[in-house]
Structure 1
Amino acid sequence: MSHGKIREDKTCLNCGHQVEERFCPHCGQENIESRHPFYFLFTHFIEDFTHYDGQFWGTLKNLLFKPGNLTNIYLEGKRQKFVPPVKLYIFVSFITFFMFALFPFDISFGDRDDPKDTDKAGFFENMTSSEVKKVIDSIKTKPHLTAEDSLSIKTLSAFADSTQKGIKHSLKMDNKIDADINVNGYNNRKSYDSAAAKNPSSLDFIQIPLTHKFFELKEKGVTKAEILRNLTEKSFHNLPKALFIYLPLFAFFLWIFHSKKKWWYFDHGIFTLHYFSFLLLNVLFVFLLGKLISFSNIGSVNILLYLVMSALLIYSIAYFFIAHRRVYHAHGLVSIIIGMALFTVNFFAFTLLVAGLAMVSFLMIH
């Protein structure tokens, strides 16, 4: 694979050895021109991650369709054929969260008082009235509308409007935090701090910062919708950090449930990197399918996309059990029991991590 024009000078720029062909036999550096046009930065980046003389596409194929195969091959010592686990995870993380940033979540609540939302329906409005709107549009496509068609359009439109207003009113997302809402009977920070000083608790390190933030937002008059938007945004930005923190914990649980003599923590780390890379790709596919559904107005197509999303979610769970059995070579029943135990432990541990992430995100709201 070529990344640039070969230099006429056969002296390696890196170590000074003679280079007979493209690569230096001493240090391995490619003997190409050191100066390139600006676009080379992007083409070089893409080539590095999509070619690897077939490494990338072979890695992707095995990762998606052959659970546990990449881990087995790597632990056998065959480490030049596929992309290294750490590099794979970093690249997949970058692509996944780049796509999230490119197509951000729509957390609008149809607040028509906000000029930014005047031309688009809110998130909950789309969820409650999209099907009704499709029926109305299908009626309007008729070349000649009868009196019954006109009546149907009026009735369905009134139903959609009442549904939107009812849900919006019930959620009260455009309202500020009610003045009578309190924390353990205290309506302001001063009274709460006074009580906390008299009756300290072992959980004060969590409760006090969260309560202070609550009273701060209450005094500023922040609406519920603004809080939820900010909480979602902050949580999204903190998610990559949370996943990175959880990697060694996931590997630690694997280490606990398997033989310490046969399996080293390093081996569990490789399995974890491959599995999390698969999960990130799966999340990306589900996210993109969800975006396609939001843009599509064809019912049959949306049903098909929902089925594909459901299949991907089921496959992500089955993938772990298949990969676990193939890598750790446990018997069927033993593998299932250990897999279920690991799945349960990780579910609760990750739930705690998500709760912690939500609290940190809440404290970051301004």
Structure 2
Amino acid sequence: MSHGKLRTEKNCLNCGNIVEEKFCPHCGQENIEPKQPFHSLFTHFVEDFTHYDGQFWKTIKYLLFRPGKLTNEYLAGKRQQYVVPVKLYIFISFITFFLFSLYSPVSTDQVFNDRVVNNEAKKNMANELKSDEVLGQINAIKPLGKEDSLALLKVQNFVKDSAKFDELIEETDMNSKLSESSAYRGFKTKSEYDKYQKLHPSWLNRFDRPFAYKFFELKKMEISKKEIFIKFFEIAFHNLPKALFIYLPIFAFFLWLFHNKKMWWYFDHGIFTLHYFSFLLLIITIMWLTGKVFNLLPDNGFVNLIQTLGGFVITIYALIYFFLAHHRVYHAGKKFSVFIGVILFFINFFAFSFLLVGLMALSFLMLK
């Protein structure tokens, strides 16, 4: 791979050593002309990462279709022909979240607007169906079949619940602001909250106080619930890659707990974790992109069947990927890999859920 035109001179521009071929044997710099076209600024980045000699694509092929292969190769010392695990994870993570943030066919505002329109339509429908005349006409239809009776029962239940529905819409009106009556755990003002905290001191207050102060701050700013939700979602989305990166060593720690400490170092589990998380992000990106492609195709039964079957196959493969990779990397029996995999699934489910709760709490505190 060459980034540009080779120099006729044989002296390295970086260290001054003699360069017999393309690269300096002393510092490794490529002996090319220092002045390059402007577009090379972008092509160099792509070339440096994807390595058109096959390093990147070989890594992706093994990552997707050879569970555990990359980890075994790296731990065996065969590292030059593959992308470094940390670099691989960071690149895939960047691409995944960049695409998610870049492609948004329906904005958050549009979602709320559509919800408001749908809510109004439902309320109007409920008001029309409340008419005794309409219900009388429906009931007068003779004879009523089984399907007609079920449909009528659903309509009547909808009408009965319409009052509750109206109350729910009013309570969750996202366009409304935090009113004077809005309270945090029964306290409408910051002074009321502080007064109660002084009369009832507790070590839990130091954890609760930041959330209470943030609530009263948002209330004072008089912003709508819709704006609060949008800002909360944006902050949480931007913090999610950080949360995943933080969870990497935690996942590796759980692996370390269940394996021989003399045979497997924490470093080994870290490499396995980087490859596994890279696979998960890559498979999520592929499924997301595939869904976008299918959305462009005609909506018919065959296309929907192919999409459903494809999604099912990819999901099943993603679920068994860990067991295959674990079996091949740790040379464990299939039953043991399944046993360890199930235990780790539940442990990581609760641990990551706890991390997500912390992420949401942090996102709320970062609202401005």
Q: TM-score range by the shorter chain?
A: 0.7 to 0.9
Distance 2:116 2:308 in 1: 18
The code of the aligned residue for 1:227 comes to I
- Could you tell me how far 1:289 is from its partner in structure 2? 3.6
> Cα distance 1:125–1:184, how it changes in 2: closer, same or farther (>3 A)?
same
Q: Which residue of 2 aligns with 1:41?
A: 41
Q: Using a 3 Å threshold, how does the CA distance of structure 1 residues 82 and 208 change in structure 2: closer, same or farther?
A: same
Distance in 2 between the 1:297 and 1:222 partners?
A: 42
Between the aligned partners of 2:46 and 2:170, the Cα distance in structure 1 is 49
Query: TM-score, normalized by length of structure 2?
Result: 0.80
Residue matched to 2:60: 60
* Match of residue 240 from structure 1: 241
Structure 1 residues 302 and 199, CA, compared in 2 at 3 Å: closer, same or farther?
farther
Q: 1:10 to 1:324 in 2, by over 3 A?
A: same
Which deviates further from its counterpart, 3-12 or 207-216? Answer: 207-216
Higher radius of gyration, 1 or 2 = 2
Aligned-pair CA distance for 1:27: 2.5
Deviation of the 1:12 alpha carbon: 0.9
- 1:306 shift after superposition: 4.4
* Post-superposition CA distance 1:118-158 (Å, at most 9, x none): xxx469969x99xxxxxxxxxxxxxxxxxxxxxxxxxxxxx
Residues 56 and 82 of structure 1 are in contact (CA less than 8 Å); yes or no, is this contact kept in structure 2?
yes
Q: Equivalent residues in 2 for 1:111-150 (5 A)?
A: 121=114
Q: One-letter code of the match for 2:191?
A: K
SS across alignment from 2:320: helix
Contact 1:110 1:125 in 2 (8 A): no
1:22 maps to 2:22: yes
For structure 1, which segment, 98-107 or 298-307, has the greater mean C-alpha deviation from structure 2 after superposition?
A: 298-307
Equivalent AA in structure 2 for residue 309 of structure 1:
G
Counterpart of 2:265 in structure 1 is 264
The residue that corresponds to 2:202 in the other structure is: 201
Distance (Å, rounded) in 2 between the aligned partners of 1:109 and 1:219? 26
The AA in structure 1 aligned to 2:237 is F
* TM-score normalised by L of structure 1: 0.80
Three-state SS of the structure 1 residue aligned to 2:92 is helix
Paired position in structure 2 for 1:339: 341
The alpha-carbon deviation at position 258 of structure 1 amounts to 0.7
Counterparts of 1:353 and 1:35 in 2: how far apart (Å)? 49
Residue 101 of structure 1: how far off its partner (Å): 2.6
Q: Paired residue for 1:186?
A: 187
Cα separation, partners in 2 of 1:238 and 1:110, compared to 1, 3 Å: closer
Residue range with higher mean Cα deviation, 287-296 or 331-340:
287-296
Provide structure 2 residue ranges, at least 5 long, that are not aligned to the other structure.
123-154, 156-161
| 3-state SS of paired residue (2:231) | helix
User: Where do 1:71-86 residues align within 5 Å?
Assistant: 71-86=71-86
* Cα pair 1:296 1:302 within 8 Å, conserved: no
1:38-92 deviations in whole A, cap 9, x for unaligned? 2101101111222252111110000011111100111111111211111111211
CA contact (8 A) 1:109 1:123 kept: no
- Cα RMSD (Å): 2.9
Secondary structure at the aligned position of 1:191 is classed as: helix
Give me the whole-angstrom Cα distance separating, in 1, the residues matched to 2:300 and 2:118: 18
2:53 partner SS: helix
Task: Specify the alignment match of 2:363 in structure 1.
Answer: 361
| Conservation of the 8 A alpha-carbon contact between 1:19 and 1:31 | yes
Q: Secondary structure at the match of 2:6?
A: coil
Q: Distance in 1 between matches of 2:286 and 2:329?
A: 25
Q: In 2 relative to 1, CA 203–319 (structure 1 residues): closer, same or farther, beyond 3 Å?
A: farther
Q: Deviations over 1:235-281 (max 9, x none)?
A: 11111211111111111111111110000000001001101111111
Q: 1:231 to 1:3 in 2, by over 3 A?
A: same
Match in the other structure for 1:229: 230
Per mean C-alpha deviation after superposition, the further-off stretch among 332-341 and 350-359 is: 332-341
Report the CA distance between 1:173 and its aligned residue: 2.1
For 1:346 and 1:168, how far apart are their aligned partners in 2? 37
CA distance in 1 between partners of 2:296 and 2:231 (Å):
25
